[in-house]
Amino acid sequence: MKNTLLCLSIIALILVTYLTPSINLVYSINSRLDNYLNITKKFNEPIQYAYLVKYFDHDGDKIADNIVLSKNKTYDVIITLSDIPWYLLKKLETLGIQINSIYKHVIKGIHVRNLTLGQLNILKRILHNYIILIENNSMRTLLMDRATKIVGIRSYLWPILSNISVPVTVAIVDTGVDATHKDLANKVIFWKDLTGESNEPLDPHGHGTMIASIIAGDGSASINGTTWITLYGTIHNSAVQIFSLDIPFDQQITLNVSWTSEYAYNECEFFIRFISEENQILQTLNISSFRFQHKIFLPRGDYKILAWTTGIPATYQIRIKVNRTRDQYPPMRGVNPNLNLAVFKVFRSGEIATQDSIILEALDLILELSDTLDIVAINLSLGGYTPSLSLDSAINELAKHGIVTVVAAGNSYIALSAENINTRQIGSPGTAAYAITVGGTNDYYGIAIYSSRGGSYTNGPNLPYVKPDLVAPSGGLVYGSWIVAADSNNPDGNFSDYENDYTGAIGTSFSTPIITGIAASVIALLIQKGEWSNDLSSVLFVKFLLLVSTFETTYIGLHETRFKTQNDTILRDPPPLSFGKKDYDEGFGIIHLPAILYALSHRLNVSNKITLFLNTPNLLSDNISNDLLVYVLPTYLDGCYRIRVEYNGLSDYYLCVYKAMSWDGSPIFIDYLYKNRVETTLRGAGFYVISLKPKKKGDTGTIKIIIEKLPCINPLVIIFSVGLLTTTVLIIILDIIKRSHLKKSSKESRKYFNV
C-alpha cells in the first residue's frame, strides 16, 4: 500500500509540473464577438432590489430615509413596486388618492403628489405587499469642433462613416430641440414634450439643441468655415468671464455687441476685455452705444472674454464672427451626422430644473418605442446630488434591453468642495451601475475643476463600483476654450435671435453627448457586422470597449487645480496615476476613439507565440490628436501566457492587462508593466485586453510586445496532487506511529510474560 501511494505521488508531481490545462469552456481563438458576448452573459446577473433598498432605507420602513414625516406638509413621491396591482390602484382612487403617472416598462411604479401624511399611511398600508421603496420626487438640473479633434473623431471616425449604413437612433432627454437649425435638418424622427407645452419641436432654453448638434449635427451652417457665435446674458459691475474663445489660426474677427439697461447709455458704461492664455490684457473696449461693431486681430490661441458695467445691471447679446476651419470637414460638425434623434422634452420653458417623475415618463416611453425607432442610446445631460432608486433602476433596466445610457457626472466640485464634501459628489442618474458616467476635461487634457468628483458606490456589500467611468472635453473654466454648438433659433433673452448660429457653454452636459455619439456609432458598426444583440451583454461590452480605450491624464494634461470664487479659493489635486485602474476624478481616463476602432479591427490570434512592434507618436507635438495614442488589443487566451515588453526610443508608455469584464461592464484590472516591470504571466481561460497607454509626454518610439505560451499548471491537477500528497504523508505518518506503538506493545508483552 505504501509503495503504491508513493508511486502515485510521484506521478502527481509529474502531472503538476508538465500538464497544460484546458480550463472551463474551450473556444476557438478566432471566436467571433457574438460568442464572446454569449460567454459573458453568465456574469451579468440582474441587480437585486434587496441590496439597493438598504442604501436608501436603513430602518426598513419602505420610506426613504431623506423623507421627513410631518402632519403639516404634503408629499410628492415616486413609489417603486414589485408589480403593478391595478385593482389596488383603483381602490386608492376611490379613497381620493390620485395617481399621476404609472410606469410599466423601465420600472414598475407610480407617481403620486399632494399626499397628506394620512394619505401616505393609507397608501403604504394598501400597497404594503408590493412596495419596494417610497422616495421623494427629486429635482434634476441641467448640468465643438476642437472637442471632436481632441478625442480623435475628426481624423478616425468621419472617414469611415460612409461604410456604416445601419440607421440607429439616439434618444435625448433634455430641454427640447430646435429642429429648424440648418445643422439638424431631417435629424429629428420623433418628438415628445412631456411637459405638454408643444406638439412641435422647440427649445426655449437652447441646452437640448446644443446636445443634439454635438451628437448628430452636420455642420451645414459652418460649411465655409465661417462661424457666428452668439452669447447673451445679464452682467453687473464686477467683471465676469462670459466666454473662452479658441482661434485656430491668426485672423481678424468681427465683434457685434448689443446691450440694454433700464437707464440711458450715457448713465451706464459697458466694457469687454480680451485676455490671452498668458493672462495678458490684449484689448479693453469701452462700449458707449447700445449697438457696436469692432474688428480685432487675434493670433492663434485661446482668449478669455470678460464683461462688466459701471454699477448698473445690463443685458447683452454679443456675436463673434470667426473662421474655425481645421480640415476638409465643416468645423461645427457633430460626432456622427448619420445618427437619428428622438427628443423628449422634460424641462418647462424658463426652468433649468425638472422632476424625476417626468424623466421616468420619458425613459418609460423610450423603452416602449425602442424597437420601433431603433433607439440604441440615451443622452442624459442632467443630474442632481440626491440619490434615486427609481431613476437608477430605470437606467439599469434599459441596459437589459440593449440600450446604452450615457449620463453627465455633474459640475458640483466647486460648490461641494466649499462645503468640505470632496467625494461622492455624483448623484442620480449618474450613479446607475450600468450607465456610462462622464466627467469633463479642458482642451489640454486636464481635469476641469468643476467636474464632479465621484467615489465608491454600492448596490450591496458585494457589489462596489466606482464613478465616473471616463472623461471627455467639456470646456475649460481655467484653461482652454468653451464648447461651441448649435444655438436654438428662439429669442436670445431680450434680443431677436439670429438663425443658424452657434453658442458656447461649459459643463459635463457637453462631454456627455460626445460619448453618446461615440457609443451609438460603435453600436451601428457592431450591428452591421452582425455582432450585436439587444441585451445586457451587448451594452456592457460597449461600455467595456469605451473604458479600455482611454488614457490617464496625470502627467499629460494641464489640470485646473485652483479657482478663486467670490468667497474662497478652491483647490483640486490632479487625477492620480493609477497605471490603468479606475479613480474618482477621471474614471479610467479620457476617451480616445481611434483605440476603439483599432480594437474592433485587430483581434490577436495567439497560439504559441506572437511578437508585436507598436510605434508610439511624438506626444510633444501640437497635433497629437491626429495620432493613435492608445493601442487596444483584444484576445482570447486559454492556458498560461507570458507577456513581455521592450521599450525602444524616447516614448513613455505603460502596458495594462484587463480581463472582460466585471458585472457593471468595467474592465477587470489584472496587471501593468512599466520600466523595470517588464513581464507578467496570465493564467486561466478568458478574453483579455492588452492596452498600451501613454504615461506622459515624450518623443517617438517603438515598443516590442512578446506574448508566449508557457507550460502551465491545471488547478484541478493541483487539487488532485496536493490531496494525494497529503494523503500519502498522513498514511506514512500513521504507519510510523502504528509501528512505534506495536514495537512498544511487544516490549511490554515480553516484559510481562518474562520472555
Q: How far is CA 514 from the centre of its chain?
A: 10
18 grid coordinates: 508538465
Q: What is the pLDDT of residues 46-57, one digit of tens each?
A: 455 555 677 788
pLDDT tens-digit readout, 430-464: 999 999 999 999 999 999 999 999 999 976 555 78
**pLDDT the model gives residue 260:** 84
Dihedral, CA of residue 674, residue 675, residue 676 and residue 682, to nearest 10: 30
Residue among 142, 258, 255 nearest 206 (CA): 142
Count of CB atoms situated within 10 Å of the CB of 2? 10
pTM of the entire predicted model = 0.88
CB 276 within 8 A of CB 282: yes
- Supply φ then ψ for residue 625, to 5 degrees: -70, -15
Phi, psi values for residue 508, rounded to 5°: -70, -10
C-alpha cell at 347: 424641462
> Which segments in the chain show pLDDT lower than 70?
1-52, 144-146, 263-267, 459-462, 492-494, 621-626, 713-718, 720-721, 738-755
Q: Please, are residues 548 and 660 in contact by the beta-carbon 8 Å criterion?
A: no
User: How is residue 677 annotated by DSSP?
Assistant: B
CB 231 within 8 A of CB 342: no
**Pick from 34, 44, 26, 33: nearest CA to 637:** 26
Q: How long is the chain?
A: 755
Angle of helix 207-216 versus helix 508-528 axis, rounded to 10? 40
Q: What is the per-residue pLDDT for 514?
A: 97
Residue 443 gets which letter from DSSP?
T
Q: Cis ω on the peptide bond leading into residue 332 (within 30° of 0)?
A: no
Output the pLDDT for position 3: 57
Over residues 456-475, the pLDDT tens digits come to 997 655 578 999 999 999 99
Closest CA to 230 of 334, 320, 323, 333: 320
Chain center to CA of 621: 28
